[in-house]
Every structure is written in C-alpha cells, then in structure tokens.
Amino acid sequence: MATCNCTPPPNGEMGCKEDCFNRMMFYECSPKYCPCGDQCSNQRFQRKEGVKELEVFWTNKRGFGLRTHVPISRNQLIIEYRGEIISQSLCQERMQNAYKNGRNFYFLDYQHGEVVDACVKGTEARFVNHR
C-alpha cells in the first residue's frame, strides 16, 4: 500500500485533499500508514461514507433503478460497485450459459481483461441507471 506525502493539517481540519498523491492515483489512504491519521479525507470506502438512504425500485422502462430521497452533493460517494472479478472469457461463458435466459446483466469492465460480475455477488450499485 502506498503512503502519501501529506502533512497533518492544523486546527483539526481534514487532510489528504486534492493534492494527495494517493487520491490522484485513485488509491485510498491506509488508516495504518497515512500521515494524517484520523484527519485523512481519502478513506471514504473504508469508512463506509456512502449514502445510506438508498432504495431499489422498479422503473417500468429500464428495469430496476436506485434512488434516494436525500440530496447528494457533488463528488459525494454514493455506493461502491462490487462483485466478483472474473476474466473476459469467463464472462462470455456465463453469458452463454448461466445468464443466457436473463434480461439484465450487471458487468463492469475492470482492468487488464477482467470484468466485475455483480449479477449475484454485487451491491445495490448494480441498479444505478443513467440517461
């Protein structure tokens, strides 16, 4: 795990802002190694800072969707997209066999030929629709 080069801010302010090396690299800081400790603002997944009031609902036109009745701020974490990380070839195999009669699929390209399969092991994030 990479340790950032941030300096703990004075007066109880939050550290690890936009100039945090880990944040720029899309890594979360480690609570164990971050110089800002409890003042680190780059641990949103670890602290489970997502929106708590989420509702899965049927949209009639796009299948299931996800909504909230509370305001969401710009750059606010809503929910982490999770699932099983599989290869592209296993994804194709599942599409042809296990999911062949399905209508909705919850795959997300990951990296280096890998895919996140959220069909069975995913969170409510798989129901986020867009227009």
- The model's pLDDT over 1-49, given as tens digits with 9 standing for 90+, comes to 678 999 999 888 999 999 999 999 989 999 999 999 999 999 988 888 8
pTM, entire model: 0.66
Of the candidates 98, 103, 32, the residue with the CA atom closest to the CA atom of residue 63 = 103
Share of the chain above pLDDT 70, in %: 97
Number of domains in the chain: 2
Residues 42 and 58 occupy one common structural domain:
no
Please check the confidence at residue 60 and state whether its pLDDT lies above 60.
yes
Same domain, 35 and 81: no
Residue 36 shares a structural domain with residue 77? no
Whether residues 82 and 116 fall in one domain? yes
Q: How far apart are the first and last CA of the chain?
A: 37
Q: Which domain holds residue 2?
A: 1-48
